[in-house]
């Protein structure tokens, strides 16, 4: 009996012993032994890493995002050797004709490394800021707007003016910009050239950039006489995109540009003169045709002037509440006809004819195509991997044309919407949103 009892005790203890035994160790993932990000302005950022594994490294991937966007981009690394227990890998985020990254862009990144042995290794997220290293920068921050200057330029007044304009447009559209906004001020055209999207020399000889909204949270401005209004205009676009653009939805240009002109301290004599001249000859564009910008340089003063005065009509006659509701309707995914109907209870042609009556013009017939705008084509959005706005898609439309510089009467070459195709000796140049002046214009 004692023997039998001892056997039973041993048998009863066996499951406990098995449960207490350690499980076989899983294969450790690859180890990242070196991790470095290098600012290579104006050519972008180079990311480098070394990894080792007990097995063979199969894949190395950089994962990165550019706040305020929450979209994660992925880029496969170039590794030497392609397969091995130890690899050295590189990823370049370049600023070239295919992609663009403005100064002071923050890049948050991590690595994923996989081998043939076990689970992949993900590194902790790190951050690098892409900086224009040519200058010693000063910054002025007012609320969520930070303005960068160099060379003794006082950024305080510009920052104050920009923030006040940003607040006004946010209040008008009931759309707070819930992320930091950056404005970068350059003192000369050559200084600014390396910070902009690369272009052909033919284009550079024809136009001078005054300002651009270059990403969802960043604008670039040339430090010239009307820099404050250029800043106001481009910050207006920061708000319109936040207020009205969602996934797969772009604002019509008449609404986007009219609201941005409204953000300026004054609309500009060129816009006003072109509009009044068109009214006197009944040569206004139909609003429906102004969904995309004009491709004719001779039409841009009228395009911006008409967009501005129609926006003012909507705000002054139908109120700020309905105007903000129009942006909300676009953001919800509605097309132009549906958005206008939801916000105003009537279609666009009815609103336009109501406006025409207030300026002494006869109604426009629904199918009338008189003086329609010849629009440029739509392009793939620029940016690293197609940078998305916090609400969705990036800029996709654009044009170039002569316009007024906010009251001086001097001609400007303006780009609207984000991307432009310019014919130049059988080549095309892709550009982003900008206010521009022909190089032949008189000095300001």
Quick check: is 9 in a domain? no
Are 245 and 271 contained in the same domain?
yes
Query: If you search the block for the tokens 């105007």, which residue do you land on?
Result: 323
What is the DSSP secondary structure assignment for residue 299, as one 8-state letter?
G
pLDDT at residue 92, rounded to an integer: 95
Q: How many domains does the chain have?
A: 2
Confidence of residue 201 (pLDDT cuts 50, 70, 90): low
Are 86 and 205 contained in the same domain?
no
Find out whether 352 and 286 touch, Cβ atoms under 8 Å: yes
Quick check: is 21 in a domain? no
Quick check: is 35 in a domain? yes
DSSP 113-175: EEESSS--EEPPPEEEEE--TTS--EEEEETTEEEEE-TT---HHHHHHHHHHHHHHHHHHT-
Q: Which long-range contacts (CB under 8 A, 24 or more apart) does 6-12 make?
A: none
Q: What is the CA radius of gyration of the chain?
A: 28
pLDDT at residue 99, rounded to an integer: 81
Backbone dihedral angles phi then psi of residue 211, each to the nearest 5 degrees: -170, 155
Q: Residue 85 belongs to a domain with what CATH number?
A: 2.60.40.10
Closest of 238, 206, 207, 212 to residue 227, by C-alpha = 212
Query: If you search the block for the tokens 């009251």, which residue do you land on?
Result: 407
Are 145 and 265 contained in the same domain?
yes
Q: Residue 363 belongs to a domain with what CATH number?
A: 1.10.390
The separation between CA 124 and the C-alpha centre of its own chain, rounded to angstroms, equals 27
| Residues contacting 208, CB < 8 A, separation 6+ | 189, 222, 413, 436, 437, 438, 439, 441
Are 123 and 157 contained in the same domain?
no
Are 247 and 266 contained in the same domain?
yes
Q: What is the mean pLDDT of residues 246-253?
A: 88
Are 240 and 360 contained in the same domain?
yes
Closest of 221, 229, 217 to residue 196, by C-alpha = 221
Phi-psi region at 327: left, alpha or beta (left = phi > 0; alpha = psi -120 to 50): alpha
Are 79 and 201 contained in the same domain?
no
Question: Which residues partner with 263 through β-bridges?
Answer: none
Quick check: is 47 in a domain? yes
Helix axes 156-173, 227-244, angle to 10 degrees: 30
Q: What CA–CA distance (Å, rounded) separates 144 from 216?
A: 14
Chain segment 63-121, per-residue pLDDT in tens = 999 998 899 999 999 999 999 999 999 999 988 767 889 999 999 999 999 999 889 99
Closest of 205, 240, 242, 206 to residue 402, by C-alpha = 206
Query: If you search the block for the tokens 């604002």, which residue do you land on?
Result: 251
- CA angle 142/147/150 to nearest 5° reads 135
pLDDT of 226 over the 60 cut: yes
Closest of 196, 180, 188, 95 to residue 149, by C-alpha = 188
The boundaries of the domain holding residue 81 are: 31-130
Quick check: is 286 in a domain? yes
Burial 376-398 (b: 16+ CB within 10 A, else e): beebebbbbbebbbbbbbbbbbb
| Residues contacting 221, CB < 8 A, separation 6+ | 158, 183, 184, 185, 186, 210, 211, 227, 230, 231, 234
Domain end marker among 130, 163, 189: 130
Chain segment 331-390, per-residue pLDDT in tens = 999 999 999 999 999 999 999 999 999 999 999 876 555 556 554 332 222 232 222 222
Q: E-assigned strands of 216-263?
A: 218-222
Q: What is the mean pLDDT of residues 426-442?
A: 37
Domain end marker among 84, 111, 130: 130
Q: What is the mean pLDDT of the chain?
A: 79
Are 120 and 205 contained in the same domain?
no
pLDDT at residue 172, rounded to an integer: 98
Are 239 and 265 contained in the same domain?
yes
Chain segment 288-319, per-residue pLDDT in tens = 999 998 777 788 899 999 999 999 999 999 99
Q: Residue 197: enclosing H or E segment and its boundaries?
A: none
pLDDT at residue 366, rounded to an integer: 66
Quick check: is 22 in a domain? no
- CA angle 211/44/34 to nearest 5° reads 150
Are 409 and 261 contained in the same domain?
yes
Confidence of residue 210 (pLDDT cuts 50, 70, 90): confident
Closest of 109, 119, 155, 159 to residue 135, by C-alpha = 155
Are 167 and 78 contained in the same domain?
no
Are 235 and 103 contained in the same domain?
no
Domain end marker among 130, 150, 182: 130
Backbone dihedral angles phi then psi of residue 303, each to the nearest 5 degrees: -55, -50
Backbone dihedral angles phi then psi of residue 99, each to the nearest 5 degrees: -150, 160
pLDDT at residue 372, rounded to an integer: 61
Q: What CA–CA distance (Å, rounded) separates 44 from 57?
A: 27
pLDDT at residue 110, rounded to an integer: 97
Quick check: is 15 in a domain? no
Q: What CA–CA distance (Å, rounded) separates 111 from 90?
A: 11
User: CA end-to-end span of the chain, whole Å?
Assistant: 112
The first and second tokens of residue 59, run together, are: 């894949």
Chain segment 152-177, per-residue pLDDT in tens = 998 999 999 999 999 999 999 999 99
Quick check: is 3 in a domain? no
Q: What CA–CA distance (Å, rounded) separates 105 from 216?
A: 11
What is the DSSP secondary structure assignment for residue 268, as one 8-state letter?
-
Chain segment 122-154, per-residue pLDDT in tens = 999 999 999 999 999 999 999 999 999 999 998
Closest of 301, 225, 289 to residue 261, by C-alpha = 301
pLDDT at residue 350, rounded to an integer: 96
């Amino acid at each position: 009996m004692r023997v039998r009892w001892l056997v039973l005790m041993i048998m009863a203890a066996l499951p406990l012993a098995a449960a207490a035994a350690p499980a076989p160790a899983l294969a450790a993932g690859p180890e990242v032994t070196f991790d470095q990000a290098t600012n290579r302005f104006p050519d972008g950022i180079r990311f480098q890493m070394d990894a080792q594994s007990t097995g063979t490294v199969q894949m190395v991937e950089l994962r990165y995002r550019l706040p305020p966007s929450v979209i994660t981009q992925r880029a496969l690394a170039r590794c030497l050797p392609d397969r091995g227990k130890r690899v050295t890998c590189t990823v370049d985020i370049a600023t070239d004709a295919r992609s663009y990254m403005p100064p002071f862009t923050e890049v948050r990144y991590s690595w994923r490394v996989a081998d043939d042995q076990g689970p992949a290794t993900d590194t902790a997220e790190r951050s690098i800021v892409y900086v224009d290293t040519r200058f010693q920068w000063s910054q002025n921050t007012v609320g969520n707007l930070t303005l960068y200057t160099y060379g003794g330029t006082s950024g305080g007044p510009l920052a104050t003016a920009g923030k006040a304009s940003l607040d006004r447009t946010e209040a008008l559209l009931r759309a707070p910009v819930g992320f930091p906004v950056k404005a970068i001020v350059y003192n000369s055209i050559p200084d600014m050239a390396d910070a902009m999207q690369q272009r052909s020399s033919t284009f550079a000889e024809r136009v001078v950039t005054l300002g651009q909204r270059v990403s969802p949270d960043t604008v670039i401005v040339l430090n010239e006489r009307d820099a404050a209004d250029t800043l106001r205009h481009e910050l207006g676009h920061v708000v319109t995109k936040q207020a009205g653009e969602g996934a797969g939805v772009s604002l019509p240009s008449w609404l986007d540009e009219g609201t941005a002109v409204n953000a300026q301290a004054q609309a500009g004599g060129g816009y006003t003169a072109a509009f009044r001249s068109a009214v006197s000859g009944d040569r206004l564009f139909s609003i429906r045709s102004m969904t995309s910008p004009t491709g004719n340089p001779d039409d841009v003063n009228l395009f911006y002037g008409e967009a501005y005065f129609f926006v003012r009509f909507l705000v002054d006659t139908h109120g700020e509440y309905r105007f903000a509701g129009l942006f909300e309707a676009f953001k919800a995914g509605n097309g132009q006809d549906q958005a206008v109907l939801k916000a105003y209870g009537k279609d666009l042609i009815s609103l336009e004819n109501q406006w025409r009556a207030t300026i002494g013009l006869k109604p426009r017939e629904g199918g009338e195509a008189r003086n329609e705008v010849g629009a440029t084509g739509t392009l793939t959005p620029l940016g690293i991997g197609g940078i998305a706005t916090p609400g969705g898609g990036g800029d996709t439309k654009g044009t170039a044309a002569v316009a007024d510089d906010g009251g001086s009467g001097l001609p400007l070459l303006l780009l609207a919407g984000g991307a432009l195709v310019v014919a130049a000796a059988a080549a095309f140049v892709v550009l982003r949103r900008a206010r521009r002046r022909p190089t032949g214009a008189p000095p300001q």
